[in-house]
Amino acid sequence: MAKNFFKKFDEETLLKLEIFEDYFKEWLPVFIKNAINYSWTECFIYDFFAGAGKDTEDRFGSPLIILKTINENIEKIIKSKLKIRFTINEFDEVTFARLKENVRIFLENNHAVKDSIEIEFCKEDFKKLFNEIKFEYDKPNFMFLDQFGVKQITEEVFKKLISFKRNDFLFFISSTHIKRFGDSLEFQKYLKIKKENFENAKPFHAHRIVFEYYKSLINNNYVIAPFSIKKNQNIHGLIFGSNHSYGVEKFLKVCWNINKNTGDANYNIDDEKIIDGQLSIFPEENKIKKLSHLEEKIENWIKRDLSLYEIYNKTIEFGCQPKHANNFLKGLIKNRKIKPLELVNDRIHQIDKNKKIEFL
């Protein structure tokens, strides 16, 4: 976790941790299972801004959430013979001491975890540590980067994150701060987002603008997804990244479980009346904008002769789940506009990548 200064976690921090925990619980079993299928012997986990590990009410921060999840899967880990290497970093000296003590107590109470994984504690400046680590680019990696503010996930760091063959990451960023101070020389050293990028956007879309900036830096098959978090009048957010569609599917599943309307914010991000219970006399307005836009896009993708696999991938890139595409496709099938076809709700990487959608 970013520095909590030994305070009680606020609601926004708890939400951030909930998203992180729910995703990590999805991520770890996949790589335990695949250790057997793909003969991986090692798995690397990094918590670069770990904090103290707990708040003042003994609620777990990110490093203890990781250890707890490992403990919940420990029998499978032992059986798979997967070696988990967990790097925990916290720069602040006082916080670091408390972190080590909290981890020690957890491990003393969970000997199987203590005996089955390798933990490395670091008390380093993030940039220095990130540049010094000899990463295993071809092996499974998971990175949680809960920076305090906006300065650490620079263009250089981001491009390194997306260069891994198997790497899922989740990072936090204070998007409103970029909107306010993006033109300052100080900010331009870290992120090249200008205030003008925000001029035509609504204030509560700040994180979407930041997300689009990072998305513009991608030149490979990496997929990223945002989740906006409102705290008072400020908008912060998480950005998740994976080079495998299954990882993004799982992250979107977590986010849509939290917000069943748009899956990308803890508030009514598009200021939709229907979400507030206000119905319009015009039926077309009584539908979530994001899902309406998805349907328009799917119609266009079908006209462009994209395969079902390609449509699913673009649906995910749009921030929706395969089931959202299926709802529209089923309607087309029912109305006899396209031929029936086999649809899936997850694991799109396993379907026939050349299967086309045929018109009737």
Q: What angle do CA 13, 17, 23 make, to 5 degrees?
A: 150
Map tokens 């309406």 to a residue: 292
Q: How many CB atoms lie within 10 A of CB 175?
A: 27
Alpha carbon distance 121, 123 (integer Å): 7
At residue 343, the pLDDT reads 97
Burial class (CB in 10 A: 0-12, 13-18, 19+), 305: exposed
Q: Which of 61, 62, 46 is nearest to 119 (CA)?
A: 46
Q: What is the pLDDT of residues 94-153, one digit of tens each?
A: 999 999 999 999 999 999 999 999 999 999 999 999 999 999 988 999 999 999 888 899
Cα 71 to Cα 27, 117, 159, 320: the distances in Å are 14, 10, 32, 32
Question: Residue 320 — very low, low, confident or very high, per pLDDT cuts 50/70/90?
Answer: very high
Q: How many CB atoms lie within 10 A of CB 122?
A: 20
Can you read off the two tokens belonging to residue 301?
Answer: 């993708």
Percent of the chain residues topping a pLDDT of 70: 94
Strands 117-122 and 83-89 come out as parallel
Average pLDDT over residues 155-180: 92
DSSP string over 61-127 = -HHHHHHHHHHHTHHHHHHHTPEEEEEEE--SHHHHHHHHHHHHHHHHH-HHHHHHEEEEEE---HH
Can you read off the two tokens belonging to residue 118?
Answer: 């390798």
DSSP string over 16-78 = HHHHHHHHHHHHHHHHHHHHHHS---EEEEEETT-TTSB-TT--B-HHHHHHHHHHHTHHHHH
CB 176 within 8 A of CB 206: yes
Question: CATH: 3.40.50.150, 3.90.1150.10, 3.30.470.20, 3.40.950.10. Which one for 11-258?
Answer: 3.40.50.150
Q: What is the mean pLDDT of the chain?
A: 91
At residue 189, the pLDDT reads 77
CB 84 within 8 A of CB 41: no
Q: What is the pLDDT of residues 185-240, one digit of tens each?
A: 777 777 888 777 888 788 889 999 999 999 999 999 999 999 999 998 899 999 99
